[in-house]
Amino acid sequence: MSGDEKIPDIVIGRLPIYLRELRRLQSEGGKPTTSSRELGELLGISSAQIRKDLSHFGEFGKQGTGYHINYLIDQLSHILHLDRIWPVALVGAGSLGTALAHYDGFAPRGFEIRWIFDNDPGKIGRQINGIAVQSLAEMAETVARHKIQVAVIATPARAAQEVTNRLVEAGVKAILSYAPVHLIAPPEVQVSYSDPLTELQRMTYYLGK
Amino acid sequence: MSGDEKIPDIVIGRLPIYLRELRRLQSEGGKPTTSSRELGELLGISSAQIRKDLSHFGEFGKQGTGYHINYLIDQLSHILHLDRIWPVALVGAGSLGTALAHYDGFAPRGFEIRWIFDNDPGKIGRQINGIAVQSLAEMAETVARHKIQVAVIATPARAAQEVTNRLVEAGVKAILSYAPVHLIAPPEVQVSYSDPLTELQRMTYYLGK
């Protein structure tokens, strides 16, 4: 990284997209290199934008030969702190939480759900994909003891802010929430949302009646 | 809307967030009005931004009294074409598709999954939440006959582009994809993605090692 330059969030947000596409190219096993032009065509992003984004972090390619796919994957993984597995606490063991606990797409991309919390006595103690559901009352202590930094919220909307407060107080630094509500957290805590309905509603703006 | 002004995508993307928060305020039933300041504090967006976003579409509030919540909900619903229910085709009846077909959060926000397609003979003909899974071979004809404009893709990544091509050719205009891969579609077709892993990977950039 060139000094203490503050890199725009929107640039950081594109790095996982580049990484995902590079891994796809790698898994196809066709060739060792790619170019900003090829990546740009695959991703619908201009090649100039890709070169500019990557230039924030160093020189990864050469005029003429392009980027070595394996090398760029290693570099992007390192920049995003994905050269390790992040253990994740999941809060909410309803149908969505259960589906997430069974989802096999986390581990290959650097995350592993290791703890599940719920406040429903009917769920506590049950195993989901090999993980025993713990009581919400145990959450703060478990998070602090294991220094858990990443959490996924799959609770109903009305519970999500209270859960966020308790996660933050216990030391969590990054929260992905599936609850359809805006969460308030201190600026040093990252919060992201997965709400497919806001995506669908954005798109219908562009559709006729 | 003021004439033929092209409104930035990023503004359109915030309207569903405003609508979601207004509906939450409405459901709390506390009071008939809100303000850009209150909305801003609830959403972590500046009040000036909210006023500017809404001013693209008209005058919805008054200095001093603010916005009437019910009125602004009606107006935003109209702008986003959500004063109707959009019937949705779901492609992919695996564990994610099945969870989506059971999810009860679509209808209150303007969408209803009415068709499900898969290519697995073991799934075709089975009912999921009252909908019979149809063969992928029937998809193009069904989409064209019912003039389906909105589709959700919940297939494996390797199938998503081919499914997209067939949906677009049959007339679909908006696609929400859960497949972790960039999709190529003509510019008049809206494509959105739900990939929680890219969100998690963006956030770990900001975490220590």
Per residue in A125-164, pLDDT tens? 999 999 999 999 999 999 999 999 999 999 999 999 999 9
Secondary structure string (H, E, C) spanning A1-57: CCCCCCCCHHHHHHHHHHHHHHHHHHHHCCCCEECHHHHHHHHCCCHHHHHHHHHCC
| pLDDT value, residue A29 | 84
Mean pLDDT for A81-97 is 95
Of A55-64, A166-175, B13-22, least confident by mean pLDDT is A55-64
pLDDT in tens, B62-118: 777 889 999 999 999 999 999 999 999 999 999 889 989 998 889 999 999 999 999
Mean pLDDT of all residues in chain B? 93
> With an 8 Å Cβ cutoff, are A86 and B199 in contact?
no
> Taking CA B193 as the corner, what is the angle to CA A173 and CA B38, rounded to the nearest 5 degrees?
55
- Which residue among B149, B182, B206 sits closest to A190, beta carbon to beta carbon? B206
pLDDT in tens, A170-183: 999 999 999 999 99
| pLDDT value, residue A2 | 47
Confidence band for A1, pLDDT divided at 50, 70 and 90: very low
| pLDDT value, residue A65 | 80
Q: Which residue of B has its CA nearest to A151?
A: B200
Sheet holding A190-193, edge to edge: A127-128, A131-135, A111-118, A86-91, A150-153, A174-177, A190-193
In the numeric block, the tokens 């969505």 are attached to A96
> With an 8 Å Cβ cutoff, are A200 and B157 in contact?
no
Strand boundaries in chain B, DSSP class E = 33-34, 61-62, 66-68, 86-91, 111-118, 127-128, 131-135, 150-153, 174-177, 190-193
Q: What is the pTM of this model?
A: 0.90
Substitution target in A204, A207, A209 with the highest count of B β-carbons within 10 Å is A204
A32 touches B at CB < 8 Å? no
B155 has pLDDT over 80: yes
B2 has pLDDT over 70: no
Mean pLDDT for B26-31 is 89
One-letter amino acid of B48: A
| pLDDT value, residue B4 | 55
> With an 8 Å Cβ cutoff, are A182 and B42 in contact?
yes
CB-CB neighbors (< 8 A) of B82 in chain A: 201, 204
Domains by residue range for chain B, with CATH = 9-79 (1.10.10.10), 86-196 (3.40.50.720)
| pLDDT value, residue A71 | 95
* Residues β-bridged to residue B177: B153, B193
A13 touches B at CB < 8 Å? yes
Structure tokens at B69: 């919540």
Mean pLDDT for B107-131 is 97
Residues within 8 A of B (CB atoms), A 81-140 only: 81-82, 84, 86, 88, 95-96, 99, 102-103, 105-106, 109-111
A117 has pLDDT over 90: yes
B158 touches A at CB < 8 Å? no
Confidence band for A63, pLDDT divided at 50, 70 and 90: confident
- Which residue among B12, B106, B201 sits closest to A197, beta carbon to beta carbon? B106
Cβ-Cβ pairs closer than 8 A, A with B, add up to: 179
Mean pLDDT for B40-53 is 94
Mean pLDDT for A8-29 is 94
Q: Which residue of A has its CA nearest to B190?
A: A203
A191 has pLDDT over 80: yes
Mean pLDDT for A77-100 is 94
